[in-house]
Amino acid sequence: MTARDLRQTLNELGIEVKSASSSLDEETAQTVRELFTKQAVVPAEKVAVPARISVRDLADRLHTDASSVVQALVQLGVMVTANEEVDFGAAEQIAHRFNVVVVPEEEEPTETAAAPPAAEAGAVAAEAAPAAEEVAPAVLAPPRPPVVTIMGHVDHGKTTVLDFIRHTNVTEQELGGITQHIGAYQLVRNGRRITFIDTPGHEAFTAMRARGAQVTDVAVIVVAADDGVMSQTIEAIDHARAAEVPIIIAINKIDLATADQDRVKHQLVELNLVPEEFGGDTICVPISAKTGEGIDNLIEMILLVADLQELTAERDKLARGAIVEAKLDKRRGPVATVLVQEGTLRRGDATVAGVTSGKVRAMTDDRGEGVAFAGPSSPVQIMGLSSVPAAGDILEVVPNERTAKQIAEQRQLEQRQRELRPSAGRVTLQDFYEKMQEGETKDLNIVLKCDVQGSIEALQKSLEQLHHEEVQVRVIHAGVGDISQSDVMLASASNAIIIGFNVRIEPQGRHAAQDEHIDIRVYQVIYDVINDVKAAMLGMLEPVYEEVVLGRAEVRATFSISRVGIVAGCMVTEGRIVRGASVRVLRDGEVVHAGSVDSLRHLKEDVNQIAQGSECGIGVAGFQEWQEGDIIEAFQEQEVRRETL
């Protein structure tokens, strides 16, 4: 639902709202939240399974993929492959996670019971009614707090906004007033929890901003009303778009005499973020982090946007979360900040994160206080891992430390194997088709860097005109200047290639590209860019197969051969007939059978092929109703290279 649809719904409820920036009183806001947080009720499905069943068959009956079932079994401490079998007890536990009730296969009724007579139907229904009421339907996962990322240009007031919300003084603790690490904080407003991730705005920490966008539900882009949209503002918007999260624009510093909100909004229009006042769907909230003006309205907008997404997460399951930040503390050892995404993380849990494992020995919240457990959307700092995990790794709880260690060791082995194949998993222009995910529409994501703005406009327009019903070029970010580490990290997060035009690659960018295995192409001629991308798109297209006729033969007589059946005595009139080739039998111009050549004889010898002008005996699998005059047409399918879009 868009903001415009929400306003229309509120107006239908008798609530007058002029724009998304309009304030709502607490009673009205609570009514709206209840309207959008009602959860649907879905009854659990019943599935019959035998005493032992293979993982693959179980996955089919649960309507999921085998890898998901294997992963769930690993969390239970059961190490199996997709082709191995599990007992009924294990199948029952796994099915519960997918909201499915399993029953022994022998208890499944084999015949449909006869319908009761009409006279008895009412009595039967009356007796069944109480039983039906006793069956409690399964309820979807409960709501979880939203995770909000605050991004924007350096010194535009991101940390100051969060500082005012938290009523603390974080900014002065940071070097030069610029955030030096990712901090995750949770606050309670109007009885609801909100988790904020404060990502750095300085270019040196652009990679951290990309990590923040990967775990967020709502992105708040802070733009200073006096400076307007800057280079890092555009980068922040591109990161949020790449993560496909809703964007709220917070126009900060409106208390300054030089503030110009209209200029900021017109700049946003140029970035395809059209404010509601201009007829678009982008929510723009004017605020002052210094005086606090508009902060309450900003929080209300965050909650409304989050409610529209109907965010939910299971609590009664093994925890799973993302590593936001990690470091090696001289006194405490490896310390990691974890954002729990589902389940409940408890002190004492055995965990695995990337290639490291361990046990949660201690856990503190964002205020530094010790906690025993943390639910979905809660940021906590944990200790007890064997080594420092990488930011962005997924932390998972497993049954015991032994299982965690086995999984970590297996991942270490897989990581070493990937290092021997450094390009695996990354898209390049040469092998883009093989790297594409399955789907009807394929996207070629491009980060474009040029020497001047005019080159960007010309190249971006030319690239986006290279379209096809199966392929789409997406320029996810375009900017002026050399290729930097920031560009590489965005390409890494979006599985994109980087194209540079009359620019250089910065040393840090080159090193990052080597580490992340990102394909960078630098050109001096626009036509070379277009031709290379066009070639990549041709490689992306689904292959086209063309039927090639190998030869034809006419049936002149039929023979009955013991242990073979009826074969056709033929004369090859065109081309050649090949054993194993696909054939169709034509009679009076119509196809009466399609199959393949399973026997081919010349005189009394078996042959692999027979050429034009020769007589032969042909047997076709599954067909013996030959008639004189039938035409046998042999053919094969060959892939045809696509030369045009």
Which residues are 85's β-sheet partners?
Answer: 54
Is 253 annotated for ligand binding? yes
Indicate the DSSP class of residue 540: H
Judge contact between 271 and 223, C-beta under 8 A: no
585 labeled binding residue:
no
In which region does residue 528 sit, left (phi positive, over 0), alpha (psi from -120 to 50) or beta (all else)? alpha
Q: Residues 166, 172, 174, CA angle at the centre, nearest 5°?
A: 100
Instruction: Tell me the C-alpha distance between 553 and 570, whole Å.
Output: 6
Three-state DSSP at 186 gives strand
- Among 406, 365, 369, 364, smallest CA distance to 384 is for 364
CA torsion sign for 389, 395, 401, 403 is: negative
C-alpha torsion angle, residues 284, 377, 437, 483 (rounded to 10): 60
Burial of 291 (0-12, 13-18, 19+ CB in 10 A): exposed
Residue 198 in marked binding region: yes
Question: What are the tokens at 392?
Answer: 């962005």
What sign does the dihedral 438-442-444-445 (CA atoms) show? Answer: negative
Query: Does the annotation flag 279 for ligand binding?
Result: no
Please give the helix or strand (H or E) that residue 133 lies within, else none: helix 118-134
Q: Is 334 marked within a binding site?
A: no
Pairwise CA distance, residues 196 & 572, whole Å: 78
CA distance 421 to 428: 14
To the question of whether residue 258 is assigned a binding role by annotation, the answer is no
The region, left, alpha or beta by phi > 0 then psi within -120 to 50, assigned to residue 155 is left
Helices then strands, each counted (H, E), the chain: 17, 30
3-state secondary structure 4-16: HHHHHHHHHCCCC
Tell me: is residue 87 an annotated ligand-binding position: no
Q: Nearest 5°: phi and psi at 85?
A: -105, 155
Distance in angstroms (rounded) separating the CA atoms of residues 100 and 437: 29
Task: Say if residue 252 carries a ligand binding annotation.
Answer: yes
200 appears as a binding residue in the annotation: yes
Burial 408-436 (b: 16+ CB within 10 A, else e): beebeeeeeeeeeeeeeebbbbeebbeeb
**181 annotated as belonging to a binding site for a ligand:** no
Annotate 479-538 with DSSP letters as a single string. EESSB-HHHHHHHHHHT-EEEEES--B-HHHHHHHHHHT--EEEES-HHHHHHHHHHHHH
Q: Is 167 annotated as a binding residue?
A: no
Token readout for 244 is 């496909």
Determine if residue 287 is labeled as part of a ligand binding site. no
- Residue at token pair 């490291």: 356
What's the order of all strands across the beta sheet hosting 520-523? 471-480, 442-450, 497-501, 520-523
Q: What CA–CA distance (Å, rounded) separates 520 from 510?
A: 9
Asked if residue 153 belongs to a known ligand binding site, the reply is yes
Is residue 112 annotated as involved in ligand binding?
A: no
Residue 77 assigned to a binding site: no
482, 509 contact by CB (below 8 A): yes
Rounded CA-CA distance 645/636 in Å is 26
Annotated binding site for GTP: 152-159, 198-202, 252-255
Annotated binding site: 152-159, 198-202, 252-255
